[in-house]
Amino acid sequence: MRSLVTLDHIHKQHRLGDQIVHALLDVSLKIDRGEFVAIMGPSGSGKSTLLSILGCLDHPSRGRYLLDDEDVFVQSKVRLSELRNRRIGFIFQNFNLLPRLTALENVGLPLFYRREPLRNPTARARAALEQVGLGGRMHHVPAQLSGGEQQRVAVARAIVNGPDLLLADEPTGALDTSTRDAILALLGELQCAGLTVVLVTHDSEVAACAWRTIRLRDGAIVGN
Ligand SMILES: Nc1ncnc2c1ncn2[C@@H]1O[C@H](COP(=O)(O)OP(=O)(O)O)[C@@H](O)[C@H]1O
Ligand SMILES: [Mg+2]
pLDDT at 223: 74
State whether the beta carbon of 201 lies less than 6 angstroms from ligand 1.
Answer: no
With respect to CATH, is domain 34-59+76-223 assigned 3.40.50.300? Answer: yes
Instruction: Map out the domains of the chain as residue ranges.
Output: 34-59+76-223
Helix axes 177-192, 147-159, angle to 10 degrees: 20
Q: Band of the pLDDT at 214, cuts 50, 70, 90?
A: very high
Q: Which is the closest atom of ligand 1 to the Cα of 49?
A: 17
pTM: 0.94
The one-letter amino acid at 5: V
Closest atom of ligand 1 to 42 CA is 22
pLDDT in tens, 30-81: 999 999 999 999 999 999 999 999 999 999 999 999 999 899 999 999 999 9
Predicted confidence at residue 116, as pLDDT, reads: 81
Instruction: Return the pLDDT at 113.
Output: 84
pLDDT (average), residues 174-188: 96
For ligand 1, atom 5: residue with the closest CA: 14
Mean pLDDT of the chain: 95
% of the chain beyond a pLDDT of 90: 94
Residues 49, 54, 57, 61: what is their CA dihedral angle, to the nearest 10 degrees? 60
Q: What is the mean pLDDT of residues 117-133?
A: 94
Whether residue 224 is predicted with pLDDT greater than 90 in this model: the reply is no
pLDDT at 17 over 80: yes
Whether residue 51 contacts residue 198, with contact meaning beta carbons closer than 8 Å, is answered with: yes
